[in-house]
Structure 1
Amino acid sequence: MAVNELNPCARFARENVILAGIWQGKGKPPFNTFIGSFCKLMNDLYDTGITEKLNGEETTVKLKVICGIYDLPAKAAILNMTQYNGSDSCITCEEPGKTVKQGKGTSRCFPYRETAEKYPNRNQAGVKLAMERGTERNRIKGFKGTSPLLDLKNFDIVSGTPPDYMHGVLLGVTKTLLYKWFSSTESKKEYFIGDKVKLISKRLNSIKPPESMERLPRDLEKNYTHFKATELQAWLIYYGIPCVEGILPNKYLEHFACLAEGVYFLLGDKISKNDLQRAHILLDAFFRNFSNLYPAGSCGLNVHNIGMHMVEYVRVLGPLWSWSCFPFEDCNSMITKTVHGTGDVTKQVMKIKEAQALLRNNLPLIFKGKNWKNLKPVANCEIAGAITEVPKDENTNFILEELGLSDTSCIKKVDRVIMVMLNGKKMYSGSYTRMKRRICNTFLTKRGIACSVKYFIFHEQTQLIFALVIPLYLTEYRIGELRAGKYLFTSTACDKCKLLLVNELEENLWYIDPKVNGKIFIAKMPNSYGHSVFK
C-alpha cells in the first residue's frame, strides 16, 4: 500500500510503501479469505483509526482505501469475475465483446462501437446485485459470486478498480505492437518491418537518454520480446516514432503516434481539461482504427480500456503514474531477492524488512545513494568537480563582452553544478567528457527556450555561475489528420550562443538523435518527478 498524502517522490519510495500482507503456498491464495482479512483490517482503520501524538497532542488519523490496482488475471480473481478473455470481463462497462477467428482458433475481441451502440457503464449497485446473483455455472454480467471488496467501507468497486497502465498499455498493447511489427510470423502483413529491424536497432542504439532514464537502449532484434516495462515506456514515448519514421507505413505510424501522445498527456503532473480532451480524441482514434489496421483478434480488453476508460479514470484518480503497478512491482522484486531456500520464506522476508527499517532509522546516510563530493558553494548553486581555465575559442570575446570584462583572468570553466534551490538537481554541461552514453546538457529555460549547455562559467568577483548555451529552434512534429505526436519537436541549433544565469535553466529535455539525416528530436518529460515515478 502507498500513502496518498505523501508527496509523490516519498509516496513510492521503497521505505514508505507498506507491506500489508504476504502469502506463501503452492498456488494462489483463496482470495475471498485473503482479501477479506485485509478488508476487515482497513474497515477498522476507517472506523476507529490510529491515535498518535502530533505536536504534543493526541490525534486520531483515519484511513480509507482510494483504489486498488491489479493486472487482469488478478483483477478477475479478486473481483470473482470472468477472465479478461471471456464475455463481460470489463469491470467498468457492460461490453460483452465478441468471438472472432484468429489463427486456427478463436479469440475474444472488444470492438469499437459508436456512441449510440456503446454498452452502459457499471455502477456499485449494479455490480453488487450481479455478484449476489451470480454463480460459477450461471454468471451474471461476468460475475460468478461476491467479492470481499463489497464489504470495504466507502469504497466504490468500479471507480476504485482502474485498468493498470504498466501491464495494460506497456506490457500489453505496446509489446503487442512490437511483436506485430517485427515477428516473422507477421511477415506477409502490411505493417511488418522485421526485415528492417537491424536498421531500426541501429537508430535506437544511437540515442543517448538523460540520467533520469535508468536503462540504456538495448539491441532491438535480440531483446524486443522481453523488454522490461520501463523500456517499453521509453519506446512508446521517446524512441518509437524517431526510430520507425520513414520505415513503418504512415497510417501505422500515425496510429502509434495517437497512442504515444495520448499516454504522454495522461502521465503529466499538471493535466488541464484541454489535455484530457486531446488525450480522449487521440485514444478514441487509436481504438477506432485498431481493428482496421491489425487483426480483430488483437483488439482485446487492454485496447478497449485504453480507448474507452483510461481518460475517465485519470479524470477521477489523477495521472497514470499515481496509480500504476510500477512501485508495487518494484517492491515485489525486492521481496523475491530476500528469499533464500524453500522453508518458511515469510519469516525471511519479515526479518529483512525489519533489518532495513532499523538501518534506515539509525544509518540514514547509507540510503542516500551516490552523491557528488567536494562541492564548492557559490552565490546561486554549488560547483562539482574541477574548476579550469576558460577555453580560448570563438566564444571568448562574446563571453567577455556579455560580462563586461577585458580578459579571462576572473572567470573559470565548470562542467557540473548542483542547484540547491531545485532540491539538489544535478546539471551537466556538454564539456563533461565522462558522460559518454547519455546526453544531460539539454534544458528548458524559465522563459520556455530550449537550449544546449556548452559549459558553465564561474565569475569569481560576483560568485555567480553562468551557462554558455546554444539556443534550439523547435518545430512541432505532427503526422496525419489529427497531427499526432505534437509532444515531440524537431530541433535546429542556433548559430549564436547566449549567456544565461544558471538559475534560468529549469528542467532537462530529452535529446533524441537517431542519426537519420541529421534530424534531432526534443521532448519534455511528462512529469517532474524523475525516475522515482517515471520509470
Structure 2
Amino acid sequence: MNYNERSNLRKRALKRVDTFLKSVNHEVYDHTDNLNNSPVSIPPGGIPSDCRPSDLNPTCISVSENTNSSHDCSSTGETNDESDLRSSISDWALRFGVSLIALSALLAILRVHLPFLPKDGRSLLKTKIEYNVEMIAGGSFHYFGIVNAFRNTLRSVCYHFTDGHTFNMQLNFDGIPLFKSSSVQLWPILGMFKGLSKKPVVVGLFCGTTKPKSLSDYLSHLVCELQSLRRGFVFGGKTFFVKVTSIMCDAPARAFIKGIKSHTGYYGCDKCQQKGSYVKHRMTFPENDASCRTDEAFRLGLDEEHHLTHCPLLETDIDMVTGFPHDYMHLVCLGVVRRLTDLWCGAVGPLRTRLSSIQVLGISERLVALKEFIPAEFARKPRALSERLRWKATEFRQLLLYTGPVVLKGVLPRQVYDNFMLLSVAIYILANSNYCIEMNDLAHSFLVSFVEHYGLLYGKEMVVYNIHGLVHLASDVKVHGPLDSISGFPYENYLGELKRLVRKPHNPLAQIIRRLSEHEERNCYSTDEISLMCPHKNGPVPQTLTEAVHQFRQLTVDGVMLRISSKDDCIAIGGKVISVKNIIAYGGKEYVMFQEYREKEALYTYPLDSRNMGVFIVSNLSTVMHFTELTKPWQKCVRLPLGDKFAVFPLTHTS
C-alpha cells in the first residue's frame, strides 16, 4: 500500500470517528496529530454475497457457508458506518500485529465516545476460542481441513464455476524452527488452489520438539479427507471435486513424506533408479540417462532399496513420482546457484575455477551498481558477493536469470562462464510460460550438458543430488507447467508469516490457531484486475484524442507494475522494446505514450541466440513519441546498463 492509499484510508477512518463523536454530542478534537503515524486500512469491497447451498447430496460432503466471522448489521442493529469502523479497526490491528492487550486498551479509550465497540479485542477480531488439539506423533496437532481452509476462497469463486468442476490443489510439507534458543518447530500442511490464489492456506499444523515421529498419525486426517473428497463436496448448491496434482517439498521433507531413502543414500534419487557413487565423502549421482521410476512401480514397492516405510498417501490417488516435482527454489536457487558462488569465491573446488579477491570485488561493485535499475517486482536489490552467505533464494534467482549474464561476463574464465550460461538459459526457458513447453527438449539438453561439463570443471565428487536433479527438471515442467508453478517461494514466504504469529513461547500452536481465525476474512483469491494510480496532467498526450483524457504514472496488472520511472518503464510489446513516457486512460481502454529502441542485438549467442527468447542489447532510443493501446501480450522488462547500451530481459518469474 503506497502513501496516497494510506493517507486516504486514514482520513476516511478519522472522518467516521468524528461523525460518531458529533452524534453523541461530545466535543470533536483534531485527531490528525495523534493518529498521523497510525494508518488505518479499510478492506476493499468486502466478499461477494454468499452462495446458498441447496439440498444436500447424500454422496458428497456438504459444506456450510456460514462462518463465525461473518457480521450481519441487520441482526445486531448496527449501522453500516458502525460496521465499517469496526472493520477498519480490526484490519488495522491485524495488519500491524497489534497485541490483544494493546487492542483492548485502545477499545477501552474509544468506548467512552463510541459505546457500540466491544470491550475485548477478541470480540472485535472474532478470535476462535474453541478448537481441538490432539497429542500425536510426539507433539500437538490441529487439523483445519481442506474444504474448511478454502471456505473463503470457495465463497468468492463458486459462482464462476459449473457443477462438477475439479479444483487442482498443490500441497506443501516443510519444517520451520520457531525459536533460536529451543528445538520447538512447526510442521504445517499447506495447500493452494492452482490458478485461484497465490497465497497458501493452512490445512494442518503440527508443533513439537522434533519432526512428527509417526508419519501415519501425522497424515491420517489428510488421507481420510482426501478419500472422502473423491465423492465430491457440495458448496453453493454445486458439487465440486478436489484433486492433488503436486506436492512441493525440499529433499529432506520429500524423503520423509514419501517414506524413502534420504538424498544422501545410495538409492536416494526419487526420479531415477541409479545407484549413487560415494566419492570423497560425498554421495554423487554420475548417470544422466538412468531408467526413470514410475508411479506404478512405486506403489508396488518394486525397488526395496529405495523404500524405508509405508507412505499413507499411497491410499489416495496422488502420483507418488510425477506428483512430487523438484522444488525449483531449493534445488536450483538455494542448491546449485549457491554452490556455484561458493566454488567461485570460497575455498572449495579446484583452484582453476576460483576467483581472486580483486575479481570478486569487481563483480560485487557491478552488482551493487545495478541497484537503481532493478524493477519493483524484485523484493531485494543486488548485494555484494561478500554477503552471499546471507543471500535469500530470490537473490540467487536474480543472479541466475538477470544480473549474472551481465556482471559475470568478462570476469569468469570463459569455460566457467559458458557453463553458467547453460544453466541460466535453461532455467530461463523453463521459467517462461511462453517457452517452457515449446523449447522443453532444448532446455533439457542444456541442463544435461551443464551437469556433464560441471563434473569436468569442478570434479566428479561435486555432482551431488542437487546437481543431478537438474536432469529431471524439464520433465517436471512438462507435467506441471513453468517453474514458478512448482516453486517453494509462496510457501516459504507464508512460513515466515506463520512464525511471526507466535508472540510468546508458551503454547505456540494455540496462538497460531487463534491468530489464523482472526485473519480468516482477509484471505482472498487472486484476480487480474487493472489498477491505475498516481494521476497527473503533465505528460505527453496524442493530438488525435480530441476529448479530455486521464493520465496516470502507474499501471498494475496482475501484480506487474508499469510506472513512469527509469527502472519500471521498459516493456516489450509487438516485437518492440519501448520506454513508456505516459499512461493514458481513454474510452475505457489503456494507452501508452512511448519511445522505441531502434537498435537491437543479441546479448549472447551461447548456448543459443538470446534474441530467440526476447533478450537483447538495445540502444538508440528514438526521439519521436509514439502512441498505442496497451493490449496483451506485453511483458515487463528488466533493463540493465551495459556501457552506453542496455541489456533487456523480459520478466519471467511471477512470484
**So what's the TM-score if we normalise by structure 1?**
0.77
CA contact (8 A) 1:109 1:300 kept: yes
Match of 1:37 in 2: 221
Change (3 A) 1:465 1:179: same
Displacement after TM superposition at 1:483 (Å): 5.1
2:511 to 348, 353, 357: 348
Which residue of the partner structure matches residue 21 of structure 1? 204
Aligned to 2:563: 428
1:94 touches 1:122 (CA, 8 Å); kept in 2? yes
2:578 and 2:594 in contact (8 A); partners too: no
Aligned residue identity for 1:344? N
Which residue of the other structure, out of 274, 277, 283, is the alignment partner of 1:108?
283
Which residue matches 1:205? 368
Cα 1:94–1:425, aligned 2, differ >3 Å: closer, same or farther?
closer
SS of residue paired to 1:493: strand
Residue in 1 that maps onto 2:479:
316
2:312 pairs with 1:148: yes
Q: CA deviation at 1:282?
A: 1.1
Q: What whole-Å deviation, never above 9, does each CA across 1:445-499 have from its counterpart, x for those lacking one?
A: 2x2100123x328799999965141424221222446557964321222454331
- Between the aligned partners of 2:426 and 2:588, the Cα distance in structure 1 is 46
Partner residue, 2:233: 50
Code of the residue aligned with 1:164 in structure 2: it is D
Report what 1:121 is aligned to: 292
1:247-258 residue pairs with structure 2 within 5 A?
247-258=411-422
1:388 lines up with 2:525 in the alignment: no
Residue 619 of structure 2 corresponds to which residue in structure 1?
492
Q: Kindly report which structure 2 residues correspond to 1:472-487, keeping only aligned pairs within 5 A, or say none.
A: 472-480=598-606, 482=608, 487=613
1:244 aligns with 2:408: yes
Q: Indicate the residue corresponding to 1:394 in structure 2.
A: none
2:326 corresponds in structure 1 to 163
Residue of structure 1 in register with 2:246 after alignment: 67
Q: 1:472 to 1:224 in 2, by over 3 A?
A: farther
The amino acid of 1:11's aligned partner reads: S
- Which residue pairs with 1:530 in the alignment? none
The aligned counterpart of 1:378 is: none
Instruction: Tell me if structure 1 keeps the 8 A contact 2:436–2:481.
Output: no
- Counterpart of 2:201 in 1: which secondary structure? coil
How has the CA–CA distance of structure 1 residues 414 and 199 changed in structure 2, closer, same or farther, with 3 Å as cutoff?
Answer: farther
Residues 510 and 130 from structure 1, CA distance in 2 versus in 1: closer, same or farther, beyond 3 angstroms? same
Q: RMSD across aligned C-alpha pairs, in angstroms?
A: 3.4
1:478–1:486 Cα contact (<8 Å) kept:
no
Alpha-carbon offset, residue 4 of structure 1: 3.2
Query: SS at 1:444's partner residue?
Result: strand
Structure 2 vs 1, CA of residues 79 and 193 (structure 1 numbering), >3 Å: closer, same or farther?
A: farther
Aligned to 1:172: 335
Q: What amino acid sits opposite 1:467 in the alignment?
A: M
Q: Report the Cα distance in structure 2 between the residues aligned to 1:404 and 1:225, rounded to whole angstroms.
A: 56
| Corresponding residue for residue 395 of structure 2 | 231
8 Å Cα contact 1:73-1:84 kept in structure 2: yes
Unaligned runs of 5+ in 2: 1-145, 151-166, 170-191
Counterpart AA for 1:443: I
Aligned residues: 462
Q: Which residue of 2 aligns with 1:393?
A: none
Higher relative contact order (CA 8 A, sep 6+): 1
Q: Does 1:11 align with 2:197?
A: yes
Asked if structure 1 preserves the Cα contact closer than 8 Å seen for 2:273 and 2:293, the reply is: yes
* Pairing 1:360-379 to 2, within 5 Å after superposition: none
**Residue 127 and residue 77 in structure 1: after superposition, are their counterparts in 2 closer, same or farther (change >3 A)?**
same
Q: Which moved more, 1:287-296 or 1:189-198?
A: 189-198
Q: Equivalent residue for 2:553?
A: 416
Cα distance change of structure 1 residues 415 and 247 upon mapping to structure 2, 3 Å threshold: farther
Q: Distance in 1 between matches of 2:272 and 2:559?
A: 46
Q: Distance in 1 between matches of 2:398 and 2:229?
A: 39
Q: Which residue of 2 aligns with 1:433?
A: none
Tell me which of 590, 593, 615 is aligned to 1:467: 593
Conserved in 1, the CA contact under 8 Å of 2:436 and 2:477?
no
CA positional deviation for 1:250: 1.4
Question: 2-side partners of 1:18 and 1:278: how far apart?
Answer: 36
Match of 2:468 in 1: 304
Displacement, 1:389?
7.5
SS of the equivalent of 2:205 reads coil
- CA offset at residue 240 of structure 1? 0.9
Structure 1 residue 525, shift from structure 2 partner: 1.6
Q: Distance in 2 between matches of 1:92 and 1:460?
A: 53
> Who is 1:441 aligned against?
569
Please tell me whether the aligned partners of residues 554 and 583 of structure 2 are also in contact (alpha carbons under 8 angstroms): no
Deviation at 1:180, TM superposition (A): 0.8
Tell me the alpha carbon deviations over residues 190-211 of structure 1, each in whole angstroms, 9 at most, x when there is no partner. Answer: 3435431221111112221111
How far is the alpha carbon of 1:412 from its aligned partner?
A: 10
* Counterpart secondary structure, 2:637: strand
How far apart, in 2, do the equivalents of 1:465 and 1:156 lie?
A: 46
CA distance in 2, matches of 1:481, 1:202: 27
Q: 1:301, CA displacement in angstroms?
A: 1.2
Q: Secondary structure at 2:649's aligned position in 1?
A: strand
Question: Secondary structure of the residue that 1:160 maps to in structure 2?
Answer: coil
Cα deviation, 1:379-411, whole Å, max 9, x if unaligned, reads: xxx573432376xxxxxxxx9xx8479xxx999
Instruction: Compute the displacement of 1:8 (Å).
Output: 5.7
| Pair 178,77 (structure 1): closer, same or farther in 2 beyond 3 Å | same
Is 2:584–2:592's contact at 8 Å kept on the other side of the alignment? yes
Deviation at 1:427, TM superposition (A): 3.0
Greater CA deviation, 271-280 or 475-484? 475-484
Provide, for residues 299-347 of structure 1, a one-character-per-residue CA deviation record: whole Å limited to 9, x for no partner: 111111112x111111112221112211111211111000122222111
Structure 2 vs 1, CA of residues 457 and 151 (structure 1 numbering), >3 Å: closer, same or farther? closer
* Distance change (3 Å), C-alpha of 1:459 and 1:478: closer
CA distance in 2, matches of 1:233, 1:440: 19
CA distance in 2: counterparts of 1:479 and 1:130, whole angstroms = 46
1:50–1:324: structure 2 CA closer, same or farther, 3 Å change rule?
Answer: same
Whole-Å separation in 2 of the counterparts to 1:37 and 1:441: 49
Residues 413 and 329 of structure 1, relative CA distance in 2, 3 Å threshold: closer
Q: Which of 173, 190, 211 is the aligned partner of 2:353?
A: 190
Q: Percent identity?
A: 21
In structure 1, list runs of 5 or more residues that go unmatched: 135-139, 373-381, 391-398, 431-437, 528-533
**CA separation in 2, counterparts of 1:461 and 1:526?**
31
